[in-house]
Chain A
Amino acid sequence: GAVVSQHPSWVICKSGTSVKIECRSLDFQATTMFWYRQFPKQSLMLMATSNEGSKATYEQGVEKDKFLINHASLTLSTLTVTSAHPEDSSFYICSARDPSGANVLTFGAGSRLTVL
């Protein structure tokens, strides 16, 4: 099946710094990727939809200037958390639709961000 690779798995940074998370579709092309955030014991919350070659679509309440999304190629989307603060500490997960046609979302392994 489709494989989505996400890197890094864990990242710890100081408050005020920026962190980039990469999401790659390994064996297929993904014109659209989805970024989710999950706080402890809560469900997945869609942050934005990343569109190859165009601007990302952000969900209501998500600051586009704080969570920069770039989808420069058909296999890579990046999420940059700018000027990170402790409240940004969360589990960030990317996903893409399986190209098999079953309309299934395949998730990356997730990135655990801790902001000190």
Chain B
Amino acid sequence: QKEVEQNSGPLSVPEGAIASLNCTYSDRGSQSFFWYRQYSGKSPELIMFIYSNGDKEDGRFTAQLNKASQYVSLLIRDSQPSDSATYLCAVVRNGQNFVFGPGTRLSVLP
């Protein structure tokens, strides 16, 4: 079992819709959870991080964490074509190491 798993996609949603990106992790001791966005040919940029169970909202983005189910998700409301990118889920374990998932490619269709 891979440490961090994501559907590779592509996930296609129409402009204005909600995009839902999912991530599962295997290490129950994981402490911090991050979502990064990576445009083609560019390096990742941070969207959000979440440490506690529940929801965390920042503008059009909502991160959801369920440690019991070892599941973290990212919702993007009112999706825009500029949101088209690969979204990387990252998990920190042992307080040190970042482990990245394979990424989900999102395509927002105008």
Binding site for B on A (CB under 8 A): 6, 34, 42-44, 46, 91, 93, 102-110, 112
Provide the residues of chain B in CB contact with A93, threshold 8 Å: 43-44
* 24 pairs of residues in contact across A and B, judged by CB atoms under 8 Å: A6-B43, A34-B98, A42-B102, A43-B102, A43-B103, A44-B100, A46-B97, A46-B98, A91-B41, A93-B43, A93-B44, A102-B49, A104-B34, A104-B46, A105-B34, A105-B90, A105-B98, A106-B46, A107-B43, A107-B44, A107-B45, A108-B43, A109-B42, A110-B43
20 more CB-based (< 8 A) A-B contacts, given A42-B102, A44-B44, A44-B100: A6-B43, A34-B98, A43-B100, A43-B102, A44-B88, A46-B97, A93-B43, A102-B49, A103-B32, A103-B95, A104-B34, A104-B46, A104-B49, A105-B34, A105-B46, A105-B98, A107-B43, A108-B43, A110-B42, A112-B41
The answer for the CA separation of A104 and B90 in the assembled complex, in Å, is: 10
The answer for the CA separation of A43 and B34 in the assembled complex, in Å, is: 15
- Count B-side interface residues using an 8 Å CB cutoff: 19
The answer for the CA separation of A108 and B98 in the assembled complex, in Å, is: 16
Provide the residues of chain A in CB contact with B98, threshold 8 Å: 34, 46, 105
> Which residues 54-110 in B have Cβ within 8 Å of A in the complex?
88, 90, 92, 95, 97-98, 100-103
Interchain nearest-CB distance for A58 vs B (Å):
13
Judging by beta carbons under 8 Å apart, are A43 and B45 in contact? no
Interchain nearest-CB distance for B91 vs A (Å):
12
Provide the residues of chain A in CB contact with B88, threshold 8 Å: 43-44
- Which of B43, B97, B101 has the most chain A CB within a 10 Å cutoff? B43
Judging by beta carbons under 8 Å apart, are A109 and B49 in contact? no
The answer for the CA separation of A103 and B31 in the assembled complex, in Å, is: 11
